[in-house]
Structure 1
């Protein structure tokens, strides 16, 4: 495996690992529903009178989905495992990230009228589970194309890394998706970075809906990455969803969850407006997005908020012209050649071969290059190990301070009870 892929996989692991979560072993099913503050914030009950995602397939490219979870059973289609190379997209023991994303999107709850447990924003959508960590040479390209070819209208990728695929395969797969009217949604990352330091793939590819996370106060979550290509924000703070085992739950914070909510909103709009293109669907979300009071007057898209936080009810109801085919999305280039870094390397090699270098010079340069590669690998391994130690410390602190189930329903530290908020507000105040 080449250095580019090794670093990219490490970046992907870091991005996913930055999601903070605690298993809800003590939470009752009715408390779980009460604690799903984004449903109230997004006016889900009113939304479901218009659309529920029925007839729409959302692909979840993640660590697998537990199709036996009681709040997802019947909503999960047969999928594919791109890690093990088989057709079983179930998660490995202890993995719950993909199951949580599926719950945010298409959980249907259980009990009388599905009133208990986790309910997704698009509860009648179908989940196509694709187990993939981007570890193949083409990154997520194969799973993206598989999703498109198997009927997915929305593709959720709540993971990512700092490097693109060297051959441009992911970029071309995203272009393929858009050509087939499939929306690709990804989280911006959870490191609190901005500008060029925040560039993460696949979120930063042209054509991808790059999503940041907001808290229950409407404000941006402090660790949500920001940048010029950020498009939308959505709830990503203390999000309750399905977890390990067939009846487990968990709470997560990160752009993984916000991406899943945007994917669910896209599914709702696909049901309501089946003739719109992918770009026109996203256009309805950007045209109806909101901003907190502290962000009023910003030039949009803003690096922190994009066009703002999603308001799916408004996106479903308002009279918005369809607009151009691509809407706010930038269509990826059809050029699938190497990345700029690879082109630079190729140019240097060409210059060397034409400058009359001696054999000894070439050997010396090759030796220096090899030493440079070893140094880069050593630094990369050091950074990965340090990131793992930091995440472990953060996780330990989080678990000690905020075990799920320890707060009254609808009331978390730093936020007022949701029922006290004015009915016109989409998101609760702090």
Structure 2
């Protein structure tokens, strides 16, 4: 993603990203000075800065973490995080989305979800429509069940949310990435440096959660550079400049309109923002996609990647938390995502 080059044009400064998740622990060094006063919508009332899972903290770090020693740091380090601890179901999530929109969040990151039902639709659709009308973008993880049932999750499967799938470093769709018409964009979601939950060890995680955080950070970078654009215009250029499937046909049920590439907007000056008041994703979904013939080797399009991928980590679903193992590994990602300065150390950690 050529992050260090992008930071010469934009770091996400001036953009607030709401992280609706398990809470955000503001005590970690990388998030010092990055958190705005937030809130929580849950039954246990621990506060927005309590995070027993470490999941929300990791998402915040991927988005806005600042350099602290040799640790991983975020893709949009100039942005601010609005922490919203949401635990308990679609009703709490709906309240969280409305709160984020009312408190200045241009970007709303939802790296969690739950089973899509009529009740969850009734809770969330009005909240999503409200946030879009207020000018926010909602990026939501599609889920990690692509290789085991491919269950549909809220809010990613609902109109107005931007469902995000995961790709690996070869730009193939990750085997775990939940797929279908809800996928609007994809982002790197395998081998993402972050922090582990309790010992705060540097480690690597994978999942559509991490991909969603990268998509949210990408939007923050673009919006910071173009502060007069609306949410529809930021989304439109993200869709236009995304890396397309090998056959060029979109949308793909695995990577949607492509893999996010904010550098194409920031460095190459590509993308036409177009009309301010037309949601490009909703408009595109109203137009039937052309038929296509499946072929082997597509970049996550008609034929799913056959290369093995790690099991996904950390996609909280409410009321049940689903998690997996995390290999603790500090890595150098080169130009992929997050700058690293020190050589990697290998350790292990599991939740």
- Shorter-chain TM-score range: 0.7 to 0.9
Alignment partner of 1:118 is 2:77: no
Give runs of aligned pairs for residues 175-186 of structure 1, distance below 5 A: 175-186=129-140
CA distance in 1, matches of 2:34, 2:51: 20
Provide the secondary structure at the position in 1 that maps to 2:71: strand
Equivalent position of 1:158 in the other structure: 111
* Contact 1:238 1:251 (C-alpha < 8 Å) held by counterparts: yes
CA distance in 2, matches of 1:118, 1:77: 21
Provide the secondary structure at the position in 2 that maps to 1:267: helix
Alignment partner of 1:144 is 2:144: no
Alignment partner of 1:97 is 2:55: yes
Equivalent position of 2:264 in the other structure: 314
Alignment partner of 1:45 is 2:22: no
Provide the secondary structure at the position in 1 that maps to 2:204: strand
Per-residue deviation, 1:273: 1.2
- RMSD over aligned Cα, in angstroms? 2.7
Per-residue deviation, 1:76: 0.9
Q: Does the C-alpha gap of structure 1 residues 163 and 109 become closer, same or farther in structure 2, counting only changes over 3 Å?
A: same
- Cα distance per residue 1:186-206 (max 9 Å; x no partner): 011101169x95422100111
1:257 to 210, 213, 216: 210
* Contact 2:18 2:84 (C-alpha < 8 Å) held by counterparts: yes
* Contact 1:69 1:246 (C-alpha < 8 Å) held by counterparts: no
Structure 2: gaps of 5 or more residues? 284-316, 336-351
Alignment partner of 1:83 is 2:33: no
CA distance in 2, matches of 1:229, 1:135: 20
Give runs of aligned pairs for residues 345-360 of structure 1, distance below 5 A: none
Provide the secondary structure at the position in 1 that maps to 2:115: coil
CA distance in 2, matches of 1:122, 1:164: 34
Q: Does the C-alpha gap of structure 1 residues 314 and 298 become closer, same or farther in structure 2, counting only changes over 3 Å?
A: closer
CA distance in 1, matches of 2:195, 2:76: 15
* Contact 2:150 2:179 (C-alpha < 8 Å) held by counterparts: no
Give runs of aligned pairs for residues 387-406 of structure 1, distance below 5 A: 395=324, 398=325, 403-405=327-329
Equivalent position of 1:24 in the other structure: none
Equivalent position of 1:171 in the other structure: 125
Q: Does the C-alpha gap of structure 1 residues 110 and 328 become closer, same or farther in structure 2, counting only changes over 3 Å?
A: same
Per-residue deviation, 1:244: 3.2
CA distance in 1, matches of 2:198, 2:78: 22
Give runs of aligned pairs for residues 411-426 of structure 1, distance below 5 A: 418=334
Per-residue deviation, 1:247: 4.8
Alignment partner of 1:211 is 2:164: yes
Greater mean deviation of Cα atoms: 66-75 or 245-254: 245-254
- Normalized per residue, the structure richer in helix is 1
Provide the secondary structure at the position in 2 that maps to 1:89: coil
Per-residue deviation, 1:316: 2.2
CA distance in 1, matches of 2:141, 2:252: 16
Per-residue deviation, 1:146: 0.6
Per-residue deviation, 1:150: 1.0
Q: Does the C-alpha gap of structure 1 residues 134 and 206 become closer, same or farther in structure 2, counting only changes over 3 Å?
A: farther
CA distance in 2, matches of 1:88, 1:124: 25
CA distance in 2, matches of 1:311, 1:323: 18
* Contact 1:69 1:242 (C-alpha < 8 Å) held by counterparts: no
CA distance in 1, matches of 2:68, 2:39: 26
Provide the secondary structure at the position in 2 that maps to 1:212: strand
1:221 to 167, 174, 197: 174
1:74 to 16, 21, 33: 33
* TM-score, length-scaled by structure 2: 0.78
Q: Does the C-alpha gap of structure 1 residues 88 and 165 become closer, same or farther in structure 2, counting only changes over 3 Å?
A: farther
Alignment partner of 1:329 is 2:281: yes
Per-residue deviation, 1:159: 0.7
CA distance in 2, matches of 1:75, 1:246: 21
CA distance in 2, matches of 1:308, 1:199: 20
- Cα distance per residue 1:50-80 (max 9 Å; x no partner): 1111111100000010111001111011211
CA distance in 1, matches of 2:51, 2:34: 20
Provide the secondary structure at the position in 2 that maps to 1:130: strand
Per-residue deviation, 1:257: 0.3
